[in-house]
A and B are shown apart, each in its own frame.
Chain A
């Protein structure tokens, strides 16, 4: 935490130092040091406490509401994508045939840019009478399932072959091998993926909001403020900072859950618990 604060101040110092030196020397490359292109950090912060528009809410309150809105979509996408990615990896680890047949499509899915996918999802979602927020969550899930699927699959395959033979010698059922050996072995991999997915889910939600025509999220704010860049660039910068913060908070929460889960001894899964059978 301390190192994070130190780095924050160093970054601010570099930003302000650049402005100072470039202004003194009259340099304009690579970036002009003027207050529109590179506003002062304190101006960005002050902007947060000004009304968005005349008589409106303070920018920070407006952005907080938008963050909450976007985070909710992102979280839903994160959950949907996480479950889908996990399910996919379990299918793939069970059947090499399925893995070989479908893995190329899973990989290909990520080479299609999300801005191409997003409008399609919104249109199809509309046809299917999906609520708009669900369409946005699906767009976000499209980005989040991939790291989970790939990493979980690696994790499920990580146990030593002798550990699998040991389970076989106990005549363990596939379900027991999964929950008592493979999933606990995969947990560190899964959490690595979830951290990537957490940031990806925010990006997915931001982009999904645009074709969905949502005015209440951070996505719209970013778009609007970037169109007003010339007039009031500080607004865009302030919003970018808040957006980044949303991602950081999400990842931090995942990291905390990871620490709790991977702490010695709490990594086990009772098969009985998972399947609702009575414990003996």
Chain B
């Protein structure tokens, strides 16, 4: 696309509250995410992973520093519908069918050919047979796939994911990871992925950003350097285990600092 990075943060900081309620969630964040990258944010609970993601998505305003998304202010990027977001909870609308849920952003954005777009998205996440079902008729993993289809329906250049598989069992989780990698490669989307799981971060990402708490900051950046496509073989390779160890040790070091 353009030469500017998709996400560019300089000395970015976020403080919630005032006085004794003051929480410095993020301090001095410098981060560049290039187009096409798959970047994971990992770190202990409360280190500001979600906050960083929400700053990028203009869901909360920054307190200090600079942040651009696609070379624009986060607000402009949001208004331009530059990103899709997936939360830990699928947050589907109960009264809408699967198809209608995927069409929701398209309706709001006044897009054409909504049902065709929704159908092809459902095809992409392999849920075509459930198009007419309601959310409560789906398993947790299927609901999350609908949420991903919904986030990608308007073809955003950036996909933000906040522990999207946190509530899923291990088996489903691995399947979903495979699925997300496939979507990432098919759609050439840039992904920022928040997770608690070291193996998940290593398996998915081109780069793992290690964070640490109080105040939330970046303590390490680790290129995973494992070849794509990543498969079950990847999960059993020595290089994969080495990376997991590297990230784990980095997390421990960051914690001690």
Interface size on B, residues (CB 8 A): 26
Asked if B93 and A171 make an inter-chain contact with CB atoms under 8 angstroms apart, the answer reads no
CB B91 to nearest CB in A, in angstroms, measures 5
Given contacts A171-B78, A181-B93, A268-B95, contact A162 B110 (CB under 8 A): no
CB A275 to nearest CB in B, in angstroms, measures 13
Interface size on A, residues (CB 8 A): 21
**In the assembled complex, which residues on chain A have CB atoms less than 8 Å from the CB atom of B97?**
265
Q: Scan A139-176; emit 1 where CB is below 8 A from any B CB, else 0.
A: 00000000000000000000010110111111110001
Asked if B96 and A268 make an inter-chain contact with CB atoms under 8 angstroms apart, the answer reads yes
Asked if A170 and B91 make an inter-chain contact with CB atoms under 8 angstroms apart, the answer reads no
B164 at the interface (CB under 8 A from A): no
Asked if A268 and B100 make an inter-chain contact with CB atoms under 8 angstroms apart, the answer reads yes
A166 interface neighbour in B58, B85, B100, Cβ under 8 Å: B85
Asked if A169 and B112 make an inter-chain contact with CB atoms under 8 angstroms apart, the answer reads no
A–B complex contacts, Cβ < 8 Å, 19 sampled: A160-B89, A162-B91, A163-B91, A163-B93, A165-B54, A165-B87, A166-B87, A168-B59, A169-B78, A171-B78, A171-B81, A180-B108, A181-B93, A264-B134, A265-B96, A265-B97, A265-B134, A267-B95, A280-B110
**In the assembled complex, which residues on chain A have CB atoms less than 8 Å from the CB atom of B105?**
170
A204 at the interface (CB under 8 A from B): no
B79 at the interface (CB under 8 A from A): yes
Bound CA–CA A184/B95 (angstroms): 8
**In the assembled complex, which residues on chain A have CB atoms less than 8 Å from the CB atom of B112?**
280
Given contacts A267-B95, A268-B100, contact A162 B109 (CB under 8 A): no
Q: Scan B75-114; emit 1 where CB is below 8 A from any A CB, else 0.
A: 0001101011101010101011100100011011110100
B57 at the interface (CB under 8 A from A): yes
B104 interface neighbour in A165, A171, A180, Cβ under 8 Å: A180
- On B, residues with C-beta under 8 Å from A are 54, 57-59, 78-79, 81, 83-85, 87, 89, 91, 93, 95-97, 100, 104-105, 107-110, 112, 134
Asked if B59 and A165 make an inter-chain contact with CB atoms under 8 angstroms apart, the answer reads yes
Prevailing SS type, chain B contact patch: loop
**In the assembled complex, which residues on chain B have CB atoms less than 8 Å from the CB atom of A280?**
110, 112
CB B88 to nearest CB in A, in angstroms, measures 8
Bound CA–CA A268/B103 (angstroms): 13
CB A134 to nearest CB in B, in angstroms, measures 36
Given contacts A267-B95, A280-B110, contact A169 B104 (CB under 8 A): no
Q: Which 9 A-B pairs have the closest CB atoms?
A: A267-B95, A170-B108, A172-B108, A162-B91, A169-B85, A170-B105, A171-B79, A162-B87, A163-B91
Bound CA–CA A279/B113 (angstroms): 12
Bound CA–CA A183/B83 (angstroms): 26
Bound CA–CA A165/B54 (angstroms): 9
Nearest CB to that of B83 among chain A residues?
A: A169
CB B111 to nearest CB in A, in angstroms, measures 8
A184 interface neighbour in B59, B83, B93, Cβ under 8 Å: B93
Max count, chain B CB within 10 A of own CB: residue among A163, A167, A171, A172: A171
